[in-house]
Amino acid sequence: MNLYGFIFKKNEGNKKMSGKVVLAYSGGLDTSVCINWIKEKYNMEVIAVIIDCGQPKDLKEARQRALDIGAIKSVIVDAKEEFLNDFIFPSIKANLKYEKKYPLATALARPLMVKKLVEIARKERAKAVAHGCTAKGNDQVRFDVGIRSLAPDFKIIAPLRERSISREEAIEYAKKCGIKIDVTKKSPYSIDENLWGRSIECGVLEDPWNKPPDDIYIWTKITKNSGESEYIEIGFQEGIPVSLNNENIPPAMIIKKLNELA
């Protein structure tokens, strides 16, 4: 049996389920593969939902990609202000960092994403909510617990977890299905971005003994290539940033500018 048949056996799965499923869609490899897989295995109509938490991607391009792959609908939900006010600001006030280093950018966004997914699933009268998490990370728990808390009646579909699909196998499947992606076996990284940070995983990063390669850094510069240092001044009011270099600008813009300066 070839790789395609092994991972996505058409005689396996619940063809009787049908109905609609709302998928947390990023436009990347994992969730793009999920659209096709859910249609084949569950015979369900996929609604791809892109939650805009300030990621710098071209979200309109991602929305069109979902439709091209086979989603019946693809929507973008603007959640930037809610993410900023209800999650980022409280984390700043709490000086929230994992092991005093990582600002938990990815983790902070997940509860908000789940909330929006469930809202749309209710509106669309969907039967399930799907995500592209694997079985080895914390994200699967964040999505599952959130969905179970807000919508215990919904089925949760997690294709990559259900079949333990590796990154390499997902890339191969995408090629066979004609799904256009930017990921290759030489650069297999899974990247999560939002207003508050950027996290990278997969590839050589799976082994903590390996030094992260230079090509994974986009927002920041390698120290030897960074040039002269730049000093900045951030003004706070009641724990919330209100100015950058003595210029009063909206907090979201302050964070965006700091990401660019880095």
The pLDDT averaged over each successive group of 10 residues in the chain (262 residues) is 42 63 93 92 95 90 94 96 95 91 91 98 97 86 96 94 80 83 64 82 74 75 70 92 93 88 76
Query: Which residue reads 């805009």 in tokens?
Result: 52
Domains of the chain by residue range: 3-176, 220-262
Predicted model pTM: 0.84
DSSP state, residue 205: G
Q: Across 66-188, where does the E strand assignment appear?
A: 73-78, 128-130, 155-157
Question: How is residue 159 written in tokens?
Answer: 């294709």
Q: What is the pLDDT of residue 214?
A: 75
Q: 257: which 2 tokens? A: 């500018």
Q: Are 132 and 159 in contact (CB under 8 A)?
A: yes
Contacts of 118 (CB under 8 A, 6+ apart): 129, 147, 150, 151, 154
Strands 240-244 and 247-248, sheet pairing = antiparallel
Contact between residue 255 and residue 196 where contact means Cβ atoms under 8 Å apart: yes
pLDDT, tens only, 65-99:
999 999 999 999 999 999 999 999 999 999 999 99
| Assigned CATH for 3-176 | 3.40.50.620
Q: For residue 202, report the phi and psi dihedrals to the nearest 5 degrees.
A: 80, 175
pLDDT the model gives residue 229: 77
Residue 1: predicted pLDDT: 44
Distance of CA 205 to the CA centre of its chain: 18
The CB-side HSE value for 258 (13 A sphere, CA atoms) comes to 19
Q: Which residues are catalytic?
A: 30, 110, 139, 190
**Closest among 111, 97, 107, 128 to 14, alpha carbons compared:** 128
57: Cβ contacts below 8 Å, ≥ 6 apart: 27, 193
How many CA atoms lie less than 13 Å away from 145 in the CB half-sphere?
8
Helix, strand, or coil (residue 80): helix
pLDDT at 3: 42
